[in-house]
Structure 1
Amino acid sequence: MKKDIWHDALNEADEKWAGEYAEILRKDAEAKADNTAPAAQNGMEKTNPVSQKPRKLPKWTGWAAVAACLCLVLITVAATGGFNRRQVPAQPTTQQVDVQPTTQVEGTTAVRPSDAPQTSENPTDPVVEASVPATSQTPAPQNSDYEMQTPDTYYEASITADSYCRAAMVPPSPTYFPGGELPVWNTEEYSHIEENSFLSVLTSPFSTFAADVDTASYANLRRLINSGQTIPEDAVRIEELINYFHYDYAEPADGEPFGVTMELTDCPWNSEARLLLIGLQAQKLDAEALPASNLVFLIDVSGSMNSPDKLPLVQRSFMTLAENLGEDDRITIITYSGQETLVLDGVSGGEQARIMGTLEELQASGCTNGEQALRMAYDAAERHFIPGGNNRIILATDGDFNVGVTSEGELARLVQHKAQKGVFLSVLGYGMGNYKDNKMEAMADNGNGNYYYIDDIAEARKVLVEEAGGTLFTVAKDVKLQVEFNPAMVKGYRLIGYENRVMAAEDFADDTKDGGELGAGHQITVLYEIIPAGSDFEIPTVESRYGQTQDDAPTLTNTDEWLVLNIRYKEPEGIESTLLTYPLAADAYTPGLSANAFWAAGLAHWGMELRHSEYVGEMAVSDSEWVRQMEDLATDDFRQECISLIRKSLRIDYPLY
């Protein structure tokens, strides 16, 4: 048997040495036979040992033997099916992989282990057979060169285009996930919010902040609640929850940019405090009086926008806006991914078919070089600048910048410098998973614009059509509010919300410091908790060598006032601010909350509960009676939807009656 194997091996060996080696084997076998003949002595069998020395073979025969062994190994492997089979170990059931499920993307080829049974028409196309639900078998997303290795199996996503971009490096969804569940992949970013605390009037008599009419936080919160996701505390900006809704405020007097409403009433969650409401109503403009617009649609078409809630919704949003453009309007469309592209350059708003067609043809792919695109957009806006008109860039993105200038601070400085040339910036945020709220808010705040989150087409219509005057047409810029409290009447106060808009008191009169922008018809609502003088409510103070009691307050002439509201603003094209002053008389307190104050207070406390605030106090919006009273004030679809969101987020049971 052994000899047969050797001969089989020799058949596979090189002809150069096979014959010689066979002759050596033959002679060696004959020599062994001569020296091992049996001999019988005294009736017993006995083997005579070999007495002669073994034959010394040439050195090259050793290498020949090694080669023959290798041939034998190859023959054995070929007989068992080759190297193209290996057993896939059993998958662990406790491994957690932080990857978001994605949808089928055309042009994607998944390369999987080759040890699985062949199921495709092409026998050379290896696939893995895995016992998981069909819904979890999703190929790797487009625009990715991402590689992932699980404990026992290896997957590789091979993408046909737009690779090597971090924006597009969405982790792929492999065929198998331990436990059969697809983990959620989430890299959303929000700026940290350090909640405002109570301040003593003796040490901090001024409360100064920039106006803010952004509403992105509310719309984003709606998305989080409706999708059943955990709500990050920093995603809740209380002032934006309140400012999403309209209130019954005084209209502006003739010649003034806005009207002012102030109410002082009971604080529903703190029995030792008063609740101050300040409401600003910007002047409204008739459609016929609106100036011509020079709009630049700056659209992110990078790979990260390849999702139904991103680029397709962006296209529908801008189409909705385009339907309301006029002949005198000028429209520029710039797209950006790995490179920026000027798609339309200053065409008339009357060319709606051309604008619509251009929007419809947009496709997502590539990296996200937002910096160069922003520069191109500002250049285009300046090139088509309309004196006295509405010159504005509308940026639509998920905020996932990853090429060029990418940090929040750098982007803010870029748009702040460009804003000095009279071009405003509005930011529309889209999508989820990699949403960068912090960058978009910073750009809007520093670019003389507003920030909105678009989660569906209804929100797009609200922002771009129903409230287009406020979104697109600024009536007052660099708006700052400063409340000076009278220490004879007020012991301490706490501003609710506006944490990222607070300014130093000395910046109020500094016209080089940026404020907020008010569009036509916009409203601003501000809430304060106020602790009256003489209250036992403890407010942190700083030790003073020269005294720090209410009796130490300086002698005042206006002791019959709770406070004075100071407002500074500039005309849309102005460079110097105008000061307006509104005192609140000592008899302004009214027990019981008005409809305005009740709704705003409910939203403020809802936000505090979601943020797990230390100031939630004695009240809970989750109390069914409070929600029922808010429901009585839900006079439109937006407020009714809000009641539903409050119920979902705080898990309030139905019915309430």
Structure 2
Amino acid sequence: MQSHSQYYLRGEVKDENGQGIYNAKIFLSSKGTIPFYTGSSGAFGIPLSTPTDSIIFMADGYETIKTLTDARKYNTYTLKFASANALVAKHKLYSLVPQNADDVTETYYNQGETYTNLIENDFTFAEKYPETGFALNINRASYSNIRRFLNNNMTVPPDAVRIEEMLNYFDFADKANTDRDNFSCATQLTQSPWDVGKRLLFIKFKAPYINVDTAPPTNLVFLVDVSGSMENPNRLPLLKDAFKMLVNNLRDKDTIAMVIYGGIVGTYLQPISCKYKDSINRSIDKLEASGETPGEAAIRTAYALAERMYKKEANNRIILATDGDFNVGQTTDKELEDLVVTHRNSGIYLTCLGVGMGNYKDSKLEILAKKGNGNFAYIDNIYEAEKVLISEFSKTMYAVANDASVNVYFNPYYVKRYRLIGFDNRKELLENSVAELEGGEVGSGHSLMAVFEIEPVDAMYDSIMRNNPDVNIAQLQLHYKVPQSDQQVVKNFSVPNNFEDFNTCDSSIRFATSVIMFGGLLKQSELWENLNWEDIIKIARNSAMENDFSQKEFVALVGKAKIIYEPYRKKKKKEQE
């Protein structure tokens, strides 16, 4: 019997100053698309079956290099610092799905509001592209922003509709799951209500829990926009009430500081223990709106303050609260993105709270949160503030996973085509970016859902194959980093062919489907032409939990949208005829 030699590739990755680069991503030709990472000193070790291989190194802020490597010797690689232009070119994707070349989109402006230009994911042939992926995050701003438009009897900008964030807004956790210490995953395959020839694959992740009572101290820097645009009741006054609620919920061992910007930028409140809640709340009460919006200088000041307060064992976070209307200094989405990405690996998280209407800059806050290794919510009323900062406090404030993403490997023997619903990419990134995922932050105990629309191969319609749970139609690979640690975690999950008729599926699956359909109709694209309001309302009413306020509110919101949208839909159909 012939034996095969086993080699071990060892080396280190340094910058131009000779410093080791932590968490540089490594791809080897023989290992496919699964990445490896350097340790805290920049060193790495990878087993190989051949003495030589093609290797690629990638790291934020550095130029990518591709070369040959030799496992028979120790290798040292130097990555050059990327120029500002190169940094922009390396901005990452939210999902790895091939796009149609003729996809187009338009910038949306409504009374000064701006939203990221998105390209919807379309169907992809599994035989040609069996592997795809998406980033995990706990952003849920899209849903409350949609609610704001509809409650004001307005149509919603299509690019404001991010279906993955709409799903994130609700808790679809598997109630039978009792593992609080590890990521869990449950999948369900069912029929698509809008296309009898398609299936829906639901993937539900549940994040580990942190016990907030015994958790390490929290160091928070409130970065508050007090410019003139913030004077309306649904902006600074709303945020003042929200921050006071948060302060009252913090522990004595937690610390607060505050930076404000409006005409000038300054540290309004030096770091103070939350033991002195009354004093902190009096300072919050005194905030007033006036002046311009020097957001760039404010962000730099907040990070400098957070770095002085930083403790490795603590939960270190900046909470930026604004309508996003930056008008002094670096103000474009890309300039602000490059500013925040330099702090991505600092151990300081960034939570963005958006407020207001008319000049609300959703695009800026979405990018800042994603690049700042944080999360993003839109606060349209005091009840939403309570949901984000109090009832979901641990989900918002305590990260259990960084740079989290999922790779999906479809089995072409069972899956003909697939479409990832939501996780749409920015148009300019599809044109300029390398094919690399932008992982997200996941909070304590958060439930996350991703959904694929699938066209099975013909054999899957056979009665035997249709209900054969021994068949795996896909494999999942969850990647994330443990916060405040060099540890890179990879977890594998199988996706069985556990098809169940839609009408008998768990109510959480049916309700999630109504949320997807709702987002699809608001998108108003050709991908969702088979949808109608009556079907959504019927599914939502039959699946909403009686004791769940958010789900019952959703049913009412769909009814309101139907009244707003039906005249537009009929007019558009008549024009097409």
Please classify the TM superposition score into its range, dividing by the shorter chain length.
Answer: 0.7 to 0.9
Corresponding residue number in structure 1 for 2:501: 591
Corresponding residue number in structure 2 for 1:582: 493
AA partner of residue 522 (structure 1): H
Query: Aligned to 1:340, what secondary structure does the other structure show?
Result: strand
Corresponding residue number in structure 1 for 2:327: 402
Counterpart check, 1:639 vs 2:564: no
Q: Name the CA shift for 1:508/1:463 in 2 (closer, same or farther; >3 Å).
A: farther
Corresponding residue number in structure 2 for 1:527: 451
**Match among 268, 274, 282 for residue 357 of structure 1:** 282
Stretches of structure 1 lacking an aligned partner (at least 5 in a row)? 1-183, 538-557
Query: Aligned to 1:410, what secondary structure does the other structure show?
Result: helix
Larger radius of gyration: 1
Q: Name the CA shift for 1:283/1:252 in 2 (closer, same or farther; >3 Å).
A: farther
Corresponding residue number in structure 2 for 1:467: 392
1:117-165 Cα deviation digits (max 9, x unpaired): xxxxxxxxxxxxxxxxxxxxxxxxxxxxxxxxxxxxxxxxxxxxxxxxx
CA distance in 2, matches of 1:352, 1:508: 47
CA distance in 2, matches of 1:261, 1:288: 29
CA displacement at 1:413 relative to structure 2: 1.7
Counterpart check, 1:649 vs 2:561: yes
CA distance in 2, matches of 1:351, 1:301: 23
1:322-347 Cα deviation digits (max 9, x unpaired): 10122211110110022211111110
Corresponding residue number in structure 1 for 2:229: 304
**Match among 455, 467, 483 for residue 572 of structure 1:** 483
CA distance in 1, matches of 2:136, 2:421: 13
Counterpart check, 1:316 vs 2:228: no
CA displacement at 1:283 relative to structure 2: 1.7
Corresponding residue number in structure 2 for 1:612: 524
Note if contact 1:300-1:397 (Cα within 8 Å) is conserved in structure 2: yes
Counterpart check, 1:516 vs 2:440: yes
CA distance in 1, matches of 2:283, 2:179: 43
Q: Name the CA shift for 1:238/1:615 in 2 (closer, same or farther; >3 Å).
A: same
AA partner of residue 477 (structure 2): N
CA displacement at 1:625 relative to structure 2: 6.3
AA partner of residue 594 (structure 1): D
Q: Name the CA shift for 1:352/1:475 in 2 (closer, same or farther; >3 Å).
A: same
Note if contact 2:146-2:160 (Cα within 8 Å) is conserved in structure 1: yes
Counterpart check, 1:446 vs 2:371: yes
Note if contact 1:252-1:260 (Cα within 8 Å) is conserved in structure 2: no
CA distance in 2, matches of 1:327, 1:608: 46
CA distance in 2, matches of 1:644, 1:398: 27
CA distance in 2, matches of 1:383, 1:485: 47
1:78-477 aligned at under 5 Å gives the runs 186-249=111-174, 257-477=182-402
AA partner of residue 458 (structure 1): Y
Q: Name the CA shift for 1:345/1:652 in 2 (closer, same or farther; >3 Å).
A: closer
Greater share of strand residues, 1 or 2? 2
Q: Normalising by structure 2, report the TM-score.
A: 0.73
CA displacement at 1:574 relative to structure 2: 2.6
1:246-294 Cα deviation digits (max 9, x unpaired): 1242677768532111001111111111110001111222332222100
Q: Name the CA shift for 1:501/1:570 in 2 (closer, same or farther; >3 Å).
A: farther
CA distance in 2, matches of 1:215, 1:474: 15
1:570-619 Cα deviation digits (max 9, x unpaired): 00113452111111124x22222321210111110111011113233544
Stretches of structure 2 lacking an aligned partner (at least 5 in a row)? 1-108, 462-468, 566-577
Q: Name the CA shift for 1:523/1:596 in 2 (closer, same or farther; >3 Å).
A: same
CA distance in 1, matches of 2:522, 2:247: 37
Shift >4 Å, 4+ stretches: 250-256, 501-504, 507-510
Note if contact 1:425-1:450 (Cα within 8 Å) is conserved in structure 2: yes
Q: Name the CA shift for 1:632/1:522 in 2 (closer, same or farther; >3 Å).
A: closer
Note if contact 2:173-2:204 (Cα within 8 Å) is conserved in structure 1: no
CA distance in 1, matches of 2:210, 2:354: 26
Note if contact 1:269-1:617 (Cα within 8 Å) is conserved in structure 2: no
Whose relative contact order is higher, 1 or 2, with alpha carbons under 8 Å and at least 6 apart?
2
Corresponding residue number in structure 2 for 1:600: 512
Note if contact 2:116-2:426 (Cα within 8 Å) is conserved in structure 1: no
CA distance in 2, matches of 1:508, 1:583: 28
CA distance in 2, matches of 1:535, 1:400: 54
The sequence identity of aligned pairs, in percent, is 38
Which moves more between the two structures, 279-288 or 432-441? Answer: 279-288
1:530-553 Cα deviation digits (max 9, x unpaired): 11113899xxxxxxxxxxxxxxxx
